[in-house]
A and B are shown apart, each in its own frame.
Chain A
Amino acid sequence: METSSVGNTNTGSIHVLAAADLSALLEAIVAEGYRLVGPRIRNGTAVLDEISGAAQLPRGYRDSQRPGEYRISANGSGETNAGRYFDYVVGPTSVKRFLYPPRRKVLEAERSGGQWKITEPADDYPPTAIVGLRSCDLAAVRILDRVLLNDIYPDPVYAARRKATLMIGVDCAHPSETCFCTSMGGGPSVESGYDLNLTELGDGATHRFLIAAGSDRGEKLMASLRLSTATSDDLAAGAAQRKSAEAALAQNPPMQDAREVLANAWNSTRWDSIAQRCMACANCTMSCPTCFCVDIEDETDLTGEHADRWQTWDSCFTMGHSYVHGGAVRKETTSRYRQWMTHKLSSWHDQFEMSGCTGCGRCITWCPVGIDIREELAAIRTDQKTDVPEAAQ
């Protein structure tokens, strides 16, 4: 893992890329042998998927996200953002889908003459450039790195995919109502973890990008582009855009005390109220860019001479997740939601010295009944304040 070239903060100076030259950047990336992945509209959502070039990016689109609700449309906000490429925020897919796929065969076994021969199938992940990653996406990569690379048992497939992935970040101009990255200590602009980062400025005749490299791979790509040095006006425009994005995020409730609040909340009455609304459907965990739980299943063919072992995304909301000999430990949704939220925001610190949450808001938007982790934390905190007798405070 050459961490030196992946995941550093800005090493180079900031330049300006003309909006019309975004295609030139993407073409340069393809010429380097990368498969191109970026946001594109599918079934009324901006998903991360393979794209052929800049023409497939959702230009002029804005999204609106609320608990349990997502909409995206071209110029839906009524504002003029004609031709801007990245005016929406994260959609249902995350970088996890690429680095840590939903389903993967981890081994094959063949029996002949009473002997098992076990082979590891080769991973078929091509060098991939992901365009349009947000600050919270790159924060998720840092968390996944800690869990899957820098722990006792590193995941070799994750390591290889991570190395083969070029990360092109984008600063967020219009956070959605479900975004709360700043409450989790990041965003809305990209700070680190990118190979290249873009700040989209202006529209129409003033449409341009600030561009900065965060790795050698990024520097090399930049060197091949037609760029100009950023003027103080360009930098001021970037700062102003950042300020307005931060203002939109400032309405979020404080969450800095999440670790302590949840560490002492195992008997909060709030868990029961959540369980009445929660369907244990697993949408939150599967949408979350950092939830890493998987299930391992063995499949045999009819002869019993051939077996495959599969790794599939699992969720702490399933009964099987807490199954031990004799039954599931977390039978009630009460304890499953508590496990999820407590792990994400509190015990993750104990386990990995960091929070498990980036504040991307996917678990809020993509919960079909709109359960909001921010609101639940606030309610649990209030609960504690009213529960604890005066003397104990």
Chain B
Amino acid sequence: MSARKKAQSNKKPKLAVFKFASCDGCQLSLLDCEDELLDVAGAVDIAYFPEATRAVMKGPWDLTLVEGSITTPHDAERIHQIRRQSKMLVTIGACATAGGIQALRNFGNVNAYVSAVYAHPEYIETLRTSTPIADHVKVDFELNGCPINKYQLLEVINATVNGRRPNINPNSVCAECKLRGTSCIMVSQGIPCMGPVTHAGCNAICPFYNRGCFGCYGPKEATNTAAVATRFRELGLNNEDVMRQFRMFTAAAREFEDESVAAEKFEAESLI
């Protein structure tokens, strides 16, 4: 109630949401905040958010949320225009922060994919790689996840509106398992789990359901991927399995990319 009151008296921050190569899932998390959406709408002016409103307010924007990765020459240009108009630019989701699932192309030949998929490949103008936004412009904050956690998104908006740093924990998924009281499934069942090297944020959903962490939130702070890869091999994974553990939704995150490439190299060497 007071959000709206305050909003009427003060000048509200202008929020814009932009999409690049992505599935829209992350920006939809904002609309998924059903209970909180009216408060958000009261606290900020939604200046540009095509998934939610047709209204368009010109920049500059106080808070710009960017979803998706850079995959075309046109987008590589567009992101610079957006950056110039944004006071604070926050990337949301695995695509924007780590290139997304479409970054699997980085490890193959994109032209081969284009000819296999499209009837008229000559109409397709695409880059060889899918890259995170931070490879192109300065990013003020990265919110990881595939998809992002809506409560964390609210926290980022909330922190920005209130002029404080968001409480987003860069520790491991393991810490979340421990806090919620999930017994470690790697230790007690021998299930390979990316938790020890993965950024917290999902509240360790998968181990709770007896499934190893997929690494959706990308690398945690100061990660040691080689150590967990060694453990995976002890648990019976071969090099290809290890490569696949690291080559998922955040395949192009540097630490994960290095480990998946290393696993491929081990495999190639073992075949000599």
A interface residues with partner B (beta carbon < 8 Å): 42-45, 47, 68-72, 91-93, 97, 102-103, 275-283, 286-287, 297-305, 312-313, 315, 318-320, 331-333, 365-369
Contacts and interface: CB of A to CB of B under 8 A. Distances in A.
B193 interface: yes
A233 B175 CA distance: 48
Contact of A333 (B3, B158, B222): B222
A279 to B, nearest CB: 4
B195 interface: yes
Nearest to A65: B187
A319 B221 contact: yes
B68 interface: no
Interface string B1-23: 01100100000000000000000
Given A299-B167, A302-B161, A368-B196, A278 B224 contact: yes
Contacts of A301: 39, 158
A366 B162 contact: no
B171 interface: yes
Chain B interface category by residue count: 35 or more
Contact of A365 (B2, B43, B187, B228): B187
Contacts, number: 143
B189 A303 contact: no
A279 B196 contact: yes
B224 A280 contact: yes
Contact of B187 (A47, A68, A297, A318): A68
Nearest to B182: A43
Contacts of A44: 183, 188-189
Nearest to A295: B169
A132 to B, nearest CB: 16
B187 A279 contact: no
A279 B158 contact: no
A303 B6 contact: yes
A282 B227 contact: no
B40 interface: yes
Nearest to A112: B2
Contacts of B189: 43-44
A279 B183 contact: no
Interface string B188-216: 11100101110000000000001000000
Given A279-B197, A304-B162, A333 B188 contact: no
A276 B230 CA distance: 11
Interface in B55-113: none
B166 to A, nearest CB: 10
Given A280-B222, A302-B158, 6 more contacts: A43-B183, A43-B188, A70-B183, A102-B180, A302-B43, A319-B170
Contacts of B179: 102-103, 286, 312-313
Give the 4 A-B CB pairs with smallest separation, nearest first. A286-B178, A281-B196, A45-B183, A303-B3
B123 to A, nearest CB: 45
15 contacts: A45-B183, A68-B187, A70-B183, A70-B184, A92-B184, A277-B227, A278-B227, A279-B228, A280-B172, A281-B196, A283-B184, A300-B158, A331-B222, A368-B186, A368-B195
A283 B222 contact: no
Interface string B217-234: 000011110111011000
Interface in B5-58: 6, 36, 39-40, 42-43
Among A68, A281, A286, A312, chain B packs the most CB atoms within 10 A around the CB of: A281
B143 interface: no
Nearest to B174: A281
